[in-house]
């Protein structure tokens, strides 16, 4: 298991750099790969609303850019003390790089508020194991 406080710090730092002028809902995410490297991302909104990027999507893109392919653990920090679970699209994006038992934490700046496995977050998910995927 990763150093959860460090992942929370990275996710909160990313959240504080988010660009969310339309929703006012900045979000940060941080993940650790199976080889122990950490990557973070924030949401970036756009006036053409469907063209924005979620924090989870940004963290995954950074991971892929760093040649990571497996999410071992993920933290999401929203703008309040309420849990901030990923949208449906990000649940599928996370599943592309996470196993059903990968742990996802929803946190505030200080603590874990809720923890779920990937399978709990997106039950019976369609994932890369349904395909012959040589890049995993």
| CA neighbor of 37 nearest in space, from 11, 72, 76 | 72
Mean pLDDT along residues 67-96: 97
Residue 136 has pLDDT above 60, yes or no: no
pTM for this model (two decimals): 0.92
Residue 34: exposed, middle, or buried by beta-carbon count in 10 A (0-12, 13-18, 19+)?
Answer: middle
Cα–Cα distance between 34 and 36 in angstroms, integer?
6
Q: For position 112, what pLDDT does the model report? A: 97
| CA neighbor of 84 nearest in space, from 69, 104, 98 | 104
Q: Which residues are identified as catalytic? A: 56
Q: For position 127, what pLDDT does the model report? A: 78
pLDDT tier at 135, thresholds 50, 70, 90: low
pLDDT tier at 108, thresholds 50, 70, 90: very high
- Homologous superfamily (CATH) for 4-125: Cytidine Deaminase, domain 2 (3.40.140.10)
């Amino acid at each position: 298991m990763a150093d959860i406080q460090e992942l929370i710090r990275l996710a909160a730092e990313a959240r504080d750099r988010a660009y969310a002028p339309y929703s006012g809902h900045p979000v940060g995410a941080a993940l650790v790969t199976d080889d122990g490297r950490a990557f973070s991302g924030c949401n970036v909104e756009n006036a053409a609303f469907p063209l924005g990027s979620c924090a989870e999507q940004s963290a995954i893109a950074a991971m892929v850019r760093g040649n990571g392919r497996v999410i071992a653990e993920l933290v999401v920090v929203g703008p309040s003390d309420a849990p901030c679970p990923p949208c449906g699209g990000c649940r599928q994006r996370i599943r592309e790089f996470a196993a059903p038992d990968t742990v996802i934490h929803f946190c505030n700046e200080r603590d874990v508020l809720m923890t779920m496995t990937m399978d709990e977050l997106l039950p019976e998910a369609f994932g890369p194991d349904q395909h012959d995927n040589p890049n995993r």
